[in-house]
Chains A and B, each alone.
Chain A
Amino acid sequence: MSYQEKRTLMSIITSVLLMVSYSIYAFGKAGMEHINDLQFWAKTILIFIGIGIVVLIILQIVFHILMAISKAIRAKLSENEVDEEEIGRSMRVETTEDEMDKIIEMKSNKFGYTIMGLGFMAGLIAIAFGASAVAMLNILFFSTWTGSLIEALMQIRYYRKGIQ
C-alpha cells in the first residue's frame, strides 16, 4: 500500500470515527434537548468540524513520523546501518505530490461535489416539504461528510485500479 493510499485510509477512518461520535452526541440526550435550537446545532457542527481538522493534522504528522521510523528500522534490519540522507530521500520520493495525484484528486472530487450537490437539493426539498432548518443543516452536514467519504474511497480505488 502506497503512502497516498495509507494517508487516504487514515482520513477515512478518522472521519468515520468523528461522524460516529457526532451522531452519538447530537442524536443522543443533548440533541434531543435542543431539537429546535438552530444555534446549538450550528455550534455543535462547527465544533466537530474544528475537532476533525485538528485531529487530521495531528494524525498526519504522527503518520509521517511513524513512516520515517519504520523506514529507519527496516534499513537497520536489512543493512545494519541507518543512512539519514537515504531515508530523507526515500520519504521525499514516497510523499511527492505529482501529476497522477492531481488527476486522481480531480477525478474523485467530481464524485464528492456531486454528492454534496445532491445533499443540498435534498435539504431544499426537505425544507419545501416542511422540515425544520435543523433538519436541513443536518442533511447538509451529512451530505458533505458522505461526499468527502466517497471522494476518499474513489481515490483509493483509482490508486489501486489506475487511471487510463
Chain B
Amino acid sequence: MPDKLEITNNIRTLRFFAHEMTQQELAEKAGVSRQTIIAVEAGKYSPSLELAFRIADAFGVPITEVFSYTK
C-alpha cells in the first residue's frame, strides 16, 4: 500500500485575504456546514474533490492554491 499523503490547506490565509471571510460565509458558498469547514481548515477532514473545487471556487483561485500535499 502506498504511503499516505499529507494534505495541507491555506484556507485560513485565503479567508484572511478575502476580507476576513468567516467560516460561515465560506460554508454557505461551498454548500456545506460550518462544522465541515472547521474540520477541513484544521486538517481533520480531507474533502472530496468536488468540495475541494467548490472551496477553491469560493475564493476564486485554482485548487492547488488551496490544497497541497507532501509525500
Which of B11-19, B43-51, B61-69 interfaces with chain A? B43-51
Which of A21-29, A72-80, A92-100, A146-154 interfaces with chain B? A92-100
Which residues, 1 to 19 on B, are CB-close (under 8 Å) to A? 4
A98 touches B44 (CB 8 A): no
- Contacts of B21 on A, CB cut-off 8 Å? none
A101 touches B44 (CB 8 A): no
A164 touches B28 (CB 8 A): no
Q: Which residue of A lies closest to B25 (CB)?
A: A93
Interface size classification for chain B: 20 to 34
A95 touches B28 (CB 8 A): no
A93 touches B39 (CB 8 A): no
Using a CB–CB cutoff of 8 Å, the interface residues on chain A facing chain B are 2-4, 89-90, 93-101, 159, 161-164
13 contacts between A and B (CB under 8 A): A2-B38, A3-B33, A94-B33, A94-B34, A96-B31, A96-B32, A98-B31, A98-B36, A99-B47, A100-B45, A162-B39, A162-B43, A164-B4
